[in-house]
């Protein structure tokens, strides 16, 4: 493995982190202010509704990915959105899709993947928009959910610990950075397991064991931790040696991975054991991987060496801090 500083530089300059930096420009163009009623920066918009919250989110997929892996792209349209709902402590209600395709035949595997994902996670596709006379092939999927108690990006506090929970029962989708512990399980008839695994997050929220969480995105474990720290205006130290990792997975590749089931949560130290036990009872690897403080940096420990991955005091990432 490369030295820690060189590895962190490569991760910091990755395309995935550059894509997250693009969010800051979008937020500025929208004229968002931290006092707005619906905060930007969470995995979903959380809209107060009665005694809970409606959760609303969407995902768009790069044309190259859709063209190269059409069935998996359709499946991911449900899978990644379902993960965003769970990361907020919610349960999904329904999805809609927007599909541009060059022909019905070309669009079919995308729609089949969307169908299979919907069946696996028990989330109906209730409508959308389709254009089969397009010059390109693109997909986006939006989701609606509901939460009784929220897990947010804004409620991590100094003194809490950082927990990572990741399903290691998967495989790489080479050459992409996707760690897939879902599609074969869902298509193979064990959809009940996928649904029960997602249920752990709202159960943790409703039990009051955590207030803050994010699902591990294309930015990987460290990039996701930076976004959580930025929104909560805290610092985080991550111990790489404590991060759950599949046997044989190189550290640098794993830190840049986008797992089908992967979450970061913060919790009071006294509640960490109960959180770990809930994930481990489902066969999901979970560990305390760091601690929250007030330093506004994301620092990394590995083999006795400490390096700063991101200094939020000098450079915001997504521009969504209150």
Same domain assignment for residues 88 and 22: no
Same domain assignment for residues 81 and 130: yes
pLDDT for 56-76, tens place per residue?
Answer: 999 999 888 999 999 999 999
pLDDT for 254-301, tens place per residue?
Answer: 999 999 999 999 999 999 999 999 999 999 999 999 999 999 999 999
pLDDT at 133: 87
pLDDT at 36: 64
Determine the Cα angle at 222 with ends 217 and 228, to 5°: 70
The answer to the question of residue 320 being in a domain is: no
* Residue 209 confidence (pLDDT) above 60: yes
Same domain assignment for residues 295 and 187: yes
Same domain assignment for residues 116 and 180: no
pLDDT for 242-263, tens place per residue?
Answer: 999 999 999 999 999 999 999 9
The residue among 105, 121, 147 that closes a domain is 147
Residue 189 confidence class, pLDDT cut points 50, 70, 90:
confident
Token reading at 316: 């915001």
What is the number of structural domains in the chain?
2
The answer to the question of residue 321 being in a domain is: no
> Cβ-count burial of 313 within 10 angstroms (0-12 exposed, 13-18 middle, 19+ buried)?
exposed
Q: 141: domain range?
A: 43-147
Same domain assignment for residues 77 and 20: no
The pLDDT > 90 percentage for the chain reads 82
The answer to the question of residue 189 being in a domain is: yes
The answer to the question of residue 289 being in a domain is: yes
Q: Quick one: average pLDDT of 204-228?
A: 97
* Residue 1 confidence (pLDDT) above 60: no
pLDDT for 98-153, tens place per residue?
Answer: 999 889 998 999 999 999 999 999 999 999 999 998 888 899 999 999 999 999 99
Token reading at 38: 């619906």
Measure the CA–CA gap between 16 and 12, rounded to whole angstroms: 9
Same domain assignment for residues 213 and 192: yes
Question: Taking the alpha carbons of 75, 78, 80, 83 in that order, is the dihedral positive or negative?
Answer: negative
Q: Quick one: average pLDDT of 25-46?
A: 82
Residue 34 confidence class, pLDDT cut points 50, 70, 90:
low
> Cβ-count burial of 157 within 10 angstroms (0-12 exposed, 13-18 middle, 19+ buried)?
middle
The answer to the question of residue 296 being in a domain is: yes
Same domain assignment for residues 190 and 256: yes
pLDDT at 289: 98
Same domain assignment for residues 199 and 260: yes
């Amino acid at each position: 493995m490369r030295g820690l500083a060189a590895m962190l530089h490569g991760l910091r300059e990755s395309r995935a982190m550059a894509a997250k930096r693009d969010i800051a420009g979008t937020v500025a163009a929208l004229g968002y202010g931290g006092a707005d009623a619906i905060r930007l920066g969470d995995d979903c918009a959380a809209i107060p509704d009665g005694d809970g919250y409606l959760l609303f989110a969407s995902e768009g997929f790069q044309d190259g990915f859709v063209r190269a892996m059409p069935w998996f792209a359709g499946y991911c349209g449900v899978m990644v959105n379902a993960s965003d709902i769970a990361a907020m402590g919610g349960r999904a209600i329904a999805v809609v899709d927007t599909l541009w395709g060059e022909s019905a035949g070309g669009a079919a595997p995308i729609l089949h993947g969307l169908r299979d994902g919907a069946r696996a996670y028990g989330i109906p596709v209730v409508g959308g928009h389709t254009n089969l006379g397009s010059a390109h092939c693109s997909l986006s999927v939006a989701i609606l959910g509901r939460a009784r108690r929220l897990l947010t990006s804004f409620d991590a506090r100094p003194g809490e610990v950082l927990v990572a929970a990741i399903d290691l029962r998967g495989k790489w989708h080479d050459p992409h950075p996707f760690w897939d512990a879902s599609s074969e399980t869902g298509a193979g008839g064990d959809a009940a397991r996928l649904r029960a695994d997602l249920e752990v997050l709202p159960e943790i929220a409703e039990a009051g064991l955590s207030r803050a969480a994010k699902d591990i995105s294309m930015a990987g474990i460290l990039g996701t931790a930076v976004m959580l720290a930025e929104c909560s205006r805290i610092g985080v130290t991550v111990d790489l040696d404590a991060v759950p990792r599949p046997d044989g997975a190189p550290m640098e590749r794993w830190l840049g991975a986008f797992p089908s089931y992967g979450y970061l949560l913060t919790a009071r130290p006294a509640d960490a054991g109960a959180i770990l036990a809930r994930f481990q009872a489902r066969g999901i690897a979970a560990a305390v991987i760091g601690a929250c403080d007030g330093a506004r940096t994301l620092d990394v420990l590995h083999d006795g060496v400490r390096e700063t991955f991101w200094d939020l005091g000098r450079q915001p990432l997504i521009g969504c801090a209150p």
